[in-house]
Amino acid sequence: MGTEPTPQPRGKLGKLLAERRALAETAKLVSDLAAFFRWAWEIIEPETPLVWSFHYEYLCEWLELVSSGQFKQRYPEKSGLIICVPFRSAKSSLVTICWPVWVWLKSPAKRFLCASYSDRLACDHSIKRRNLITSHRFQEKFGSRFSLVDDQNRVDSYANDKTGVCSATSVGGSVTGVGANILIGDDCLSQDGSYSDAIRTSTNRWIDSTWSTRRNDPSSDLFVYVQQRLAEDDVPGHLMAEQKDKFLLIRIPLEAEEDETYLFPLSGRTYERKKGEILQPQRFTSDVVEALRQNSNVWSGQCQQRPSPAGGGIIKSHWWRFYVRPGDPVPADAVVLPEEFEEMAQSWDMAFKDKKTSDFVVGGVWGRNGATKYLMPDLVWDRLDFVGTKKAVIDLSARWPKTYKKWVESAANGEAIISELQSVVAGLIAVQPLGSKAARLSAAAPDVEAGNVVLPHPSICTWTRRFIDECSAACCGGKHDDAADMLSQAINGFRDPLASGWVCVGSSIFTAEQNARPAAKTADELARAQKEQYTGEKTLKPPALGIVGEDKTLTARRLPKPGVVRLPDVCPQCGNKILAGTAEWRHCNACNWDSKQLAAAPKPEPIAPEPPAARPAGNQFIDARGFF
């Protein structure tokens, strides 16, 4: 038997109580942003239930702190907030749509300027704000507090009768003559734009040069940025790097990576979040989370608000080994640096410019003993102009005279540096980067994972941790990849292509395939081009077996070095153009001629070789020694 409902008072008493409840509700909505957000959600998203979460109340207290003026009192040196939360977590509905309307309930003279990466998104937010204000429910409860002015009521900008203004613009748009007390940057960079260096750079430039000048009173007005992380140098990353002390960062990952405690700035209460706890698990179920984990870039940036995967992307941070110098105390995770090396080389990644925002010049000295490569402590890692780069190469070569090979990436200033220094510094080798950065790093990653790459221990080199972090973030949103490029170039340069077991083709074939199909190259495809670079041999795809008499040249070689006998490409006895063998040996399967014979047999009459057993076209392979 159900419980009977409590009878409600009728008449004047019932009306009085209803009015008091309405006034209490209105007062609650005006004083509590979280309560207003829950109430307004039914207006802006009537068909979508709101799944409540602690992070809404947490963010609301921070936003209240900003709009009340207490934020500036508590953090006088700060210019505002940066809020990084996962996608589809109602961040725009709270920060960009509901918050400005709620502020107008108490301070209708406040002026807001809101920016997003596109006009369409900015106008969509602006329309939803206006629809909330003009809705019947809002007007019935708050209509007496302010009203919109008819002659200043556009999609992208509208004003109220208390001099308050809400304007919207896009990144790159003109805001000349427009100012505000609170400037909201909501998704200033799109997901597609995050893959473009040019778009990221232009967005950050607009933020620095245009958007930053739009505060009416720079001493008291504030910025609030809200965005999921997309790249290391997206807007939040750029601001935290260039103006680290000017912004307070609020980062809420989808999954707690450790036990977390959130201290609410106004109420003082705390919320404990255990490691592994998922934000809004009703929406982000285990299946959804597992699917998101499969894409490391999406998971690390858009979900975890840290645009490099935990532990690293292609190269994991826990793979590295370390060394100390002879005579130093040897930590448990370190080895002693050898005093002699079988081979030493330099690896250089050059930069295009010497501006503050340009990439770095990175030059490293490497020593190899067997399969293990050691990076010496003497590392060049700085923003240098052309003259400074030349001097750095000369000085490093003077300090390490046994580095006979000096690999220099031919991109950027590399070719010019080689041209300028080839008569001064010996052993400069131009390296044409083949394949994508990810492919080159993937080709080098197995050496790091196997423990065949050893770095100076952090106790003896301050840059070691920075080197590890940059290599871990490379190819997954990292702002700089110069150190990773230098690393992959050195490891791939030391690798013996003949002993690798990889099938190899020449760089001309590699380039042609890349132009015809500009997809990212795999590590195996990259390796196929390295045999030519480090052996001097261009091995082309073999013709179909059994073809005789046509000009089907198997290999094309560079001119031999002086004193080196060039082996024939055609059998001197029978004229067979398909010879087996290696770079030092030739054998003819047709007449059994062999280049290792002490004396050549008398040349017989040419005979046509019997065609071998037919095999499907396109299935011919070359093994590691060059045999068919």
pLDDT confidence of residue 511: 42
pLDDT at residue 547, as a whole number:
31
Q: Which residues lie closer than 8 Å to 214 by C-beta, 6 or more apart?
A: 113, 175, 178, 179, 180, 183
Contacts of 594 (CB under 8 A, 6+ apart): 585, 586, 587, 588
Among 414, 490, 491, residue whose Cα is nearest residue 449: 491
Q: Read off the CATH number of the domain in which 252 is found.
A: 3.40.50
Which residue range(s) make up the domain with 290? 28-119+170-303
Q: Which residues of the chain, if any, have pLDDT below 70?
A: 1-10, 14, 296, 308-313, 352-358, 412, 475-480, 496-566, 577-578, 581-584, 596-628
Q: Which 3 state secondary structure label does DSSP give 150?
A: strand
The two three-digit tokens of residue 255, written as one number: 């999954």
Whether 257 and 113 share a structural domain? yes
CA pair distance 26, 36, nearest whole angstrom: 9
Q: Which two tokens stand for residue 593?
A: 């001629």
298 located within any domain: yes
Q: Is residue 534 part of a domain?
A: no
3-state class of 82 per DSSP? Answer: strand
- 448, 477, 495 - which closes a domain: 495
Token output for 560 = 């031999």
pLDDT given at position 374? 96
CB atoms inside a 10 Å sphere around CB 436 = 18
SS (H, E, C) 279-301: CCCCCCCHHHHHHHHCCHHHHHH
Q: Which long-range contacts (CB under 8 A, 24 or more apart) does 604-611 make?
A: 604/573, 604/574, 606/574, 606/575, 607/574, 608/548, 609/548, 609/574, 609/576, 611/545, 611/546, 611/548
| Co-location of 332 and 293 in the same domain | no
Any residues with CB less than 8 A from the CB of 190 and at least 6 apart, and which?
117, 118
Identify whether residues 284 and 325 lie together within a single domain.
Answer: no
Is the domain of 85 the same as that of 186? yes
**Is 406 among the domain residues?**
yes
Domain membership of residue 615 (yes or no) is yes
Contact 505, 540 (CB under 8 A): yes
Q: Are 447 and 373 within 8 A, CB to CB? A: yes
Q: Which tokens sit at 253? A: 């990952």
Res 583: pLDDT: 57
| R_g of the chain, CA atoms, integer Å | 34
Q: Does 294 share its domain with 349? A: no
Please indicate, yes or no, whether residues 322 and 465 belong to a single structural domain of this protein: yes
In a domain, residue 440? The reply is yes
Same domain, 297 and 324: no
Count: domains in the chain? 3
Same domain, residue pair 264 and 394: no
Can you tell me the distance from the alpha carbon of 452 to that of 625, in angstroms, rounded to the nearest whole number? Answer: 24
Q: Verify that 256 and 115 share a domain, yes or no.
A: yes
355: domain CATH number?
3.30.420.240
pLDDT of residue 174: 87
